Amino acid sequence: MNLAQFTIHELHEQLKNRKTTSGELTRSVLQRIEAVESRIHAFTTVTAELALAQAEAADRWLRSGRPVHPLTGIPIALKDNLCTKGVRTTCASRILENFVPPYDATVVGRLKESGAVFIGKTNMDEFAMGSSTENSAWGLTANPWDLNRIPGGSSGGSAAAVAADACIAALGSDTGGSIRQPAAMCGVVGLKPTYGRVSRYGLVAFASSLDQIGPLTKDVTDCAILMKSISGSDSFDSTSADVPVENYTGLLNRDLSGLQIGIPKEYFIDGMDPEVLHAVKEAVRTMEKLGAKTREVLLPHTEYAIATYYILATAEASSNLARYDGVKYGSRAKPTKDLLEMYMKTRQAGFGPEVKRRIMLGTYALSSGYYDAYYRKAQCVRTLIKNDFDEAFKQVDVIVTPTAPSAAFKIGEKTKDPLQMYLSDIFTISVNIVGIPAVSMPCGFTQTGLPIGLQIMGRPFAEATVLNAAYAYEQATEWRKKKPNL
């Protein structure tokens, strides 16, 4: 029996009933990492010693007879842009190559309180800027379903690790689709929460008005468990919302009677992979059989979402990444003759090509004479896009779309054309612009065996509705049971 293949909720029952121990489970996951890591490269750091120590502590708690949290003793992987006290946090960048944070991110602290085991830090696009995990300073991550294809990005390491059973679940971050798109490419479940639902304290910032932390899991029940653990207001994050957190797992059921589903025509476009289109339409039909009602909704400003996002996100990146100057922390170029040369050489050597590209784009958009033409106008269009969703959600409970226009593409296929790479997130970006929750889950496979993702969007703070719609569909299908052949 390979314990690494099980879900959080299955393993919770085994641990609670003393059928296994966290130590046995953690060793099983570490063995799995050893078996597959050379092929998929999902991790930047494997924290085996820490994980075994935490597993031993979890087993002591389990033997004590005290109440057991659903995550107690469960090995979780963390994206390498989440600060972990005493454990290297690099953001897959040379400039943070040896950075060891002196504190934990709030979500990390909450997982520690629940008794979770930290198995390692996962690979990502540098500073979360990318859609393929090809922009990492530590090398690319491969898709477990086809080692010649990308796993999606920027949370590609987290998604690949979950798909390959190299962890039981993982955390990622989502700025324009960076949880949902790799979840779709790797055939797992990924949730981007409402902006403010999960504290961003300790998340290394890319674009502060867009970033959110969320779970990547093997099924929807696990997603609900992890969401419950990391959600809630936080005094360390002024943008976290003081909104009650529901018992997401307790609200899951298989009944979609009365659920109103919106289908936006703007998300079913020319050039989309026919296999993706077919799988998503079949998923909608399945949801209708479960009692849901569908209707067309209009999101007319969708065509401006990509342009809007890449002005706002790059402008915020330009501002956030100004702190990496070789002075306070991170790498420093030397020798240099003066301060200016030190700044320039540090950033030249420390940042990769995609990060430099986005910093330059954002600096241009914020520069004198161009601010009104670009950044201010993008903020105005952001409001128009939000108004579209507000109007749509007056008519429906959730909106269903494809997660990505195609299945995973080949490694290197889009690296020479940044615009084509940016278009990979065409169906996910609006969710971040508006700040609403959305989940991606498997809804089929291509003829060549690649996963296809279904996206379900909801009203602000309606994670429970989104998760239940996903759960009902999941339970009516068998997609979650398929595993990559590694």
Name, in order, each residue with C-beta under 8 angstroms of 83's C-beta and a sequence gap of 6 or more: 89, 101, 103, 104, 105, 108, 202, 203, 204
* 8-20 burial code (b ≥16 CB/10 A, e <16): bbbbbebbeeeeb
Residue 87: domain span: 3-259
Measured between alpha carbons, how far is 84 from 257 in angstroms, rounded to an integer?
A: 43
Specify if 175 maps to a domain.
yes
CA distance from start to end of the chain: 16
Measured between alpha carbons, how far is 384 from 1 in angstroms, rounded to an integer?
A: 53
Q: So what's the pLDDT on residue 232?
A: 98
Specify if 138 maps to a domain.
yes
* Whether the Cβ atoms of residue 439 and residue 470 lie closer than 8 Å to each other: yes
Residues 246-287 pLDDT 10s:
999 999 999 999 999 999 999 998 888 999 999 999 999 999
Measured between alpha carbons, how far is 101 from 97 in angstroms, rounded to an integer?
A: 12
* Whether the Cβ atoms of residue 322 and residue 316 lie closer than 8 Å to each other: no
Residue 131 or residue 416, greater confidence: 131
* 392-404 burial code (b ≥16 CB/10 A, e <16): bbeebbbbbbbbb
Q: Per-residue pLDDT averaged across 362-376, rounded?
A: 92
Measured between alpha carbons, how far is 114 from 226 in angstroms, rounded to an integer?
A: 10
Specify if 289 maps to a domain.
no
Residues 396-417 pLDDT 10s:
999 999 999 999 999 999 988 8
Mean pLDDT across the chain, nearest whole number? 96
- Inform me whether the pLDDT recorded for 364 exceeds 80: yes
Name, in order, each residue with C-beta under 8 angstroms of 411's C-beta and a sequence gap of 6 or more: 132, 134, 140, 142, 148, 149, 150
E-assigned strand segments in 17-134: 43-46, 75-79, 117-122
| Beta-sheet pairing, 117-122 with 398-402 | unpaired
- Inform me whether the pLDDT recorded for 453 exceeds 70: yes
Specify if 313 maps to a domain.
no
* Whether the Cβ atoms of residue 479 and residue 452 lie closer than 8 Å to each other: no
Residues 190-230 pLDDT 10s:
999 999 999 999 999 999 999 999 999 999 999 999 999 99
| Beta-sheet pairing, 75-79 with 117-122 | parallel
Q: What CATH number should be reported for the domain holding residue 57? A: 3.90.1300.10
Q: What band does 1 get if pLDDT is binned at 50, 70 and 90?
A: low
Measured between alpha carbons, how far is 342 from 162 in angstroms, rounded to an integer?
A: 40
Residue 4 CA to its chain's centroid (Å): 21
Specify if 89 maps to a domain.
yes
Catalytic residue set: 79, 154, 178
Q: So what's the pLDDT on residue 221?
A: 98
Measured between alpha carbons, how far is 314 from 306 in angstroms, rounded to an integer?
A: 12
Specify if 480 maps to a domain.
no
Q: So what's the pLDDT on residue 421?
A: 85
Specify if 365 maps to a domain.
no
Name, in order, each residue with C-beta under 8 angstroms of 9's C-beta and a sequence gap of 6 or more: 70, 221, 222, 225, 249
State whether residue 209 is helix, strand or coil.
coil
Q: What percent of the chain has pLDDT over 70?
A: 100
Measured between alpha carbons, how far is 28 from 14 in angstroms, rounded to an integer?
A: 14
Measured between alpha carbons, how far is 102 from 187 in angstroms, rounded to an integer?
A: 35
Token pair 């003081």: residue:
242
Domain count, the chain: 1
In sequence order, the β-bridge partners of residue 231 are: 198
Q: So what's the pLDDT on residue 150?
A: 98
* Whether the Cβ atoms of residue 94 and residue 349 lie closer than 8 Å to each other: yes
Specify if 309 maps to a domain.
no
